[in-house]
Structures are given as structure tokens and as C-alpha cells.
Structure 1
Amino acid sequence: MIEVIDTGIAPSSGPINDCVRAGNHVWLVVLAEDPKTGKITEGDIEVQTRQALSNLRQAINAAGGELTNIVQVQIFLVDSADAPGMNRVYAEFFNTKPYPIRATVVVKELLAKGLRIEITATAVLG
């Protein structure tokens, strides 16, 4: 049984969810968007990463977990030059061992104009 979690962060558009739970597993996807307006956060990669990871924290909290429950993270960047700035902010949020496994992928573009980062994550609760 799949349960859709209301994170308080409205997914952009289309038939999508930003957080679902099946048993003790949670899957999440977040963007660098303001949860109140749904608009992409303007700024450099550090600003956008901080917003995306704040949204990730809000989403996993809504599912009943914490960032420490996240076991895997996938990060999509539009520019490989953004990796150092993204890593600096990432280390602020994921600063407790064991760290989740992570893959970082550089893509040509993301769907929302001005978006520099998108993050997916998997968590295990309980």
C-alpha cells in the first residue's frame, strides 16, 4: 500500500507526488522552491541547495522521520562547476555518520527555468 505524504510543499505541476511511503520506506523528491509560493528560489547554487535541503528536511519530517533516516540521495545539477558549492551546503545538513550513499549527476537542464538542482532521496523509518 502506497501512502502519499502531505509535506506542505506543493509539487510543481502534473500528476506527481513529492513524498510517498510504502511500509517503512519513504521516497522523496525536492526542488529549490519556496514551499509557500511554489516558485523557484533565485540565487546561486548554495542558495538553491540550502532551499532544496530545507525542503527535504520538511518532507522527511512530514513522513515521521529525520534526515538521519535517509539512506540514499541523488542530486541532479545543471553545471558541474556547482559541485563544490553544493557540497559545502550538503555537509551542513548531512553531518552525522553514517552518511547516506549519494550519486551526483550533471544534466543538460532541469524542467523549471532557473532551477540548478533537484534532489531525490530514499529513507527507511523504524
Structure 2
Amino acid sequence: MIKKVETGIAPSTAPVSDAIKAGKQVWLVAIAEDPATGGIVAGDIEIQTRRTIENLDIAIRAAGGTLADLAQVQVFLTDSGDAKGMNAVYAEFFHEPYPVRATVVVKELLAEGLRVEMLATAMVQ
């Protein structure tokens, strides 16, 4: 049975969920959205990456897990030059064994000013 996880993150204007759980598997998506305002946080890639991973953390905790439960992360960047800054912040949050990860550079993301988006899969108890 698939169920939406209530994350408490600001509601999206699009018809999407921040997290979905089916059994022990959880699918999550996060952007650099301020949970209090619903707006995209302004700043460089480090600021946006930190907020994005903090939002992943909020979502996975709402599903009963932690960032250590993430098995796979897909990162979408709008500028390949942002990879170094994103990796520096990513390394603050993730440790061995690292989630399997793919990083893709895209032309743009849907929200104006958004530089990074992350899609993840986790296994929780």
C-alpha cells in the first residue's frame, strides 16, 4: 500500500508529494525551499544544497528514518560548475557507506532561482 508521508515542509504549488512510503521503501524529493515560507532560499550552491539536504532530512525523519537510510540519491544541477560546492556540502551530511548517486546537469529547474534538486530512495524500518 502506498501512502503519502506528511513532512511538514511547505506545500508545493504542483500536484506532488515530498515523500511516499510503501512498506519499508520511501521515495523522497527535495529542493531548496524554506519550510516556513515555501519560497526558494536565495544564495549560492552551498546554501541551496544545505537547505535541500535539510529538507531531505525532514522528509526521511517524517517517514521514520534518517539520512543514513538513503540508498540512492539523484542530484540535478543547473550548472556543472556547481558540482564542487554541492559535493562539499553533500560530504557534510553523508558518510560511508555513501548512497549510490547520479548527478545530472539540466538546462533549468521549475522554480525560478533554483540551482539544485534531489530525488532519493530509502529503506526504513
TM-score (norm. length: structure 2): 0.98
On the 8 A contact 2:10/2:34 being kept in 1, the answer is: no
Counterpart for residue 43 of structure 1: 43
Please give the per-residue CA displacement for 1:68-103, whole angstroms capped at 9, x wherever unaligned. Answer: 1000000000000000000000000002x2110000
Residues 34-67 of structure 1: CA distance to partner in whole angstroms, max 9, x if unpaired?
Answer: 0111100000000000000000011100000000
The 8 Å contact of residues 3 and 21 in structure 2, kept in 1 or not, is answered as yes
Matched residue pairs, number?
Answer: 125
Aligned position for 1:21: 21
Q: What is the SS of the residue equivalent to 1:76?
A: strand
Aligned letter for 1:101? Answer: V
Residues of 2 paired with 1:75 and 1:4: CA distance? 22
1:11 deviation in Å? 3.8
Structure 2 residue aligned with 1:100: 99
Distance in 2 (alpha carbons) for counterparts of 1:65 and 1:47: 24
Letter in 2 for 1:21: K
Q: Is this contact kept in 1: 2:32–2:52, CA < 8 A?
A: yes
Q: Indicate the SS of the match to 1:73.
A: strand
Secondary structure of the 1:21 match is: strand
Moved over 2 A (4+): none
Q: Counterpart of 1:58 in structure 2: which amino acid?
A: I
**1:1-126 correspondence runs (5 A):** 1-95=1-95, 97-126=96-125
Does structure 1 retain, via aligned residues, the 8 Å contact 2:45–2:82? Answer: yes
Structure 2: gaps of 5 or more residues: none
Distance 2:18 2:3 in 1: 12
> For 1:42 and 1:115, how far apart are their aligned partners in 2?
9
Gap regions ≥5 residues in structure 1: none
**TM-score under structure 1 normalisation?**
0.97
Please give the alpha-carbon distance, in whole angstroms, between the structure 1 residues aligned to 2:6 and 2:12. Answer: 14
- Structure 2 distance, partners of 1:13, 1:56, is 18
Letter in 2 for 1:72: Q
